Amino acid sequence: MARNMTLLWGSGSPPCWRVMIALEEKKLQGYNSRLLSFDKEEHKSTEVFNINPRGQVPSFKHGDIIVNESYAACFYLESQFKSQGTKLIPDSKEEQALMYQRMFEGLAFYDKLTAVIFYEYFVPEGERLDSALKRHKDALTMELKLWEGYLFNMGSGSNLAGKSFTLADVVVFPTIGTLFRFGLSEKRYPKLGEYYALLRERPSIKASWPPHWLENTKGLDTLKDV
Amino acid sequence: MAKDMTLLWGSGSPPCWRVIIVLEEKNLQGYNSKLLSFEKMEHKSQQVLDINPRGQLPSFKDGDKIINESIGACLYLENQYKSQGTKLIPDSPAEQALMYQRMMEGNTLMQKIATVLYYHMLVPEGERHDSAVKRNRENLTTELQLWEKYLENVAAGSYLAGAFSLADVVVYPNFAYAFQYGLSAERYPKIAKYLNLLKDRPSIKTTWPQKWFQHEQRAEMLKGI
């Protein structure tokens, strides 16, 4: 049950957010929620390393069972709690196939986002180049056009894999939420904007919205020209 | 049915190999198999782009359903064909959790291998740094040491998450690939043992890549890792 679960997480981390959305959707509120500070490097603390040899968040335990990779935790939770909360893997073959496809494209999507917004975190000062950052921004633009196209083809009001809210939305919405937090233009990406506006009202997403985004609603403008 | 399935793939590509292994394990031989050449840039050809706007392999269709991402295709096939062939997702919560965990870590492993092996392809000449190459190699070493620990007790029937599972389907090709590029069995004896234990498994043996790489100068790139 939820009280045997512990999630170590950081505010604004999309992988952490994925697991939190899944826990909400499966009605597993009541888990031990440990918010750690990235600024204070708490994600590299003993508490994390005791669960996760990679020293990363999310780190997730259910009793003695440890599942740290965010997608893995989402699959595990859906599988173990299939009969409660939202059905996150659709039965329809078509929706299921599309769900898996979009979920795993979501990994590339997230990588292209972080290559831009966390450029200075990943790349030591002596190696940073304007040309590299530009290249990453161009790659992100191409990726965004793909997703804008996907949403356009799905039609207004649709989730990523069809009518139902699925694991594809669980794992990809945090990336999209982060894009807009960092200044992505809704004018340039109207379909992504529509999807974002629709899903940000979903209870599981509202309940797990990054706390520091609530404290400071302004956000950044890193991606305004992407 | 298998005859409604089409796989476009390239030889020696771990993501392609994963899907091929699952198709074998689920007794779905008989799918339309199209071997394409990376060398001839066939992964960017129209027939691929028609299925996969990313111009990447594998590209996979089951009827009109498209799943190009290899782990996605593996999960789809296991879920759609649960009752035939090998059971690839364990039932027990603990094994299942471990399977999903290792499966997704397999994605991280492949990325770190790719960051080292494909550095010159991914990074334009004017942006390359020796310090980056060194760091990428160190990251891969740390990663491999982690897997060496995960495989501490590897034995016949006791693989990444117990019995052979999707974790092995996803990860085995990564290791086989790394050894083709000179990874040292002395430095990574457990990984070498794991490879050896599974190399005769029918789904792996019959689909072993005929050809691994084209660039001879990269042949020993992982020797010192």
Q: What pLDDT score was predicted for residue B214?
A: 61
- Quote the DSSP letter at residue B83: T
Inter-chain Cβ pairs, chain A and chain B, closer than 8 A? 92
Q: Answer yes or no: do B101 and A69 touch at CB < 8 A.
A: yes
> Mean pLDDT across the stretch A184-209?
98
Q: Percentage of residues in chain A with pLDDT exceeding 70?
A: 100
Interface of B with A (CB under 8 A): 53-54, 62, 64-73, 75-76, 79-80, 93-94, 96-97, 100-101, 103-105, 107-108, 123-124, 126-127, 129, 131-132, 135, 146, 149
Nearest CB neighbour to A100, from listed B76, B100, B131: B76
Quote ipTM for the complex: 0.97
Q: What pLDDT score was predicted for residue A141?
A: 98
3 state SS for chain A: CHHHEEEEEECCCHHHHHHHHHHHHCCCCCCEEEEECCCCCHHHCHHHHCCCCCCCCCEEEECCEECCCHHHHHHHHHHHCCCCCCCCCCCCHHHHHHHHHHHHHHHHHHHHHHHHHCHHHHCCHHHCCHHHHHHHHHHHHHHHHHHHHHHHHHCCCCECCECCCCHHHHHHHHHHHHHHHCCCCCCCCHHHHHHHHHHCCCHHHHHCCCHHHHHCCCCCCCCCCC
Q: Answer yes or no: do B146 and A66 touch at CB < 8 A.
A: no
> Mean pLDDT across the stretch A83-106?
97
Which tens digits make up the pLDDT trace of B191-224? Answer: 999 999 999 999 999 999 998 866 656 778 999 9
Q: What pLDDT score was predicted for residue B103?
A: 98
Q: Percentage of residues in chain B with pLDDT exceeding 70?
A: 98
pLDDT of A23 > 90? The answer is yes
Which tens digits make up the pLDDT trace of B45-79? Answer: 999 999 999 999 999 999 999 999 999 999 999 99
Nearest to A100 by CA among B123, B71, B108: B71
> Which chain B residue lies closest to A71 (C-alpha atoms)?
B104
Which tens digits make up the pLDDT trace of B123-143? Answer: 999 999 999 999 999 999 999
Distances (CA, A) of B40 to B7, B10, B35, B218: 18, 11, 12, 19
Residue A130 contacts B, CB cutoff 8 Å = no
Q: What pLDDT score was predicted for residue B220?
A: 86
* Burial classification of residue B149, based on how many CB atoms lie within 10 Å of its CB (0-12 exposed, 13-18 middle, 19 or more buried): exposed
Chain A partners within 8 Å of B103 (Cβ): 72
Q: What pLDDT score was predicted for residue A1?
A: 84
Q: What pLDDT score was predicted for residue B112?
A: 98
> Which chain B residue lies closest to A66 (C-alpha atoms)?
B97
CA distance, residue A185 to nearest chain B CA (Å): 24
> Mean pLDDT across the stretch A177-194?
98
Task: Judge whether A81 and A26 are in contact, CB under 8 Å.
Answer: yes
Distances (CA, A) of A96 to A90, A103, B59, B72, B104: 6, 10, 17, 10, 19
pTM assigned to the model: 0.97
Nearest CB neighbour to A127, from listed B75, B104, B132: B132
Q: What pLDDT score was predicted for residue A111?
A: 98
Average pLDDT, chain B: 96
| Beta-carbon contacts of residue A135 (< 8 Å; ≥ 6 apart) | B124, B127
Q: What pLDDT score was predicted for residue A193?
A: 98
Mutate which of B67, B109, B149 to disrupt the A interface (most A C-beta within 10 Å)?
B67
Q: What pLDDT score was predicted for residue B217?
A: 60
Reported confidence tier of residue A93, pLDDT bands at 50, 70, 90: very high
A161 token code pair: 């894999």
Q: Answer yes or no: do A72 and B132 touch at CB < 8 A.
A: no
Which tens digits make up the pLDDT trace of B81-112? Answer: 999 999 999 999 999 999 999 999 999 999 99
Chain B partners within 8 Å of A69 (Cβ): 100-101, 104-105, 108
Average pLDDT, chain A: 97
Q: Give the helix/strand (H/E) hosting B79.
A: helix B70-80
Task: Judge whether A209 and A24 are in contact, CB under 8 Å.
Answer: no
> Which chain B residue lies closest to A80 (C-alpha atoms)?
B93
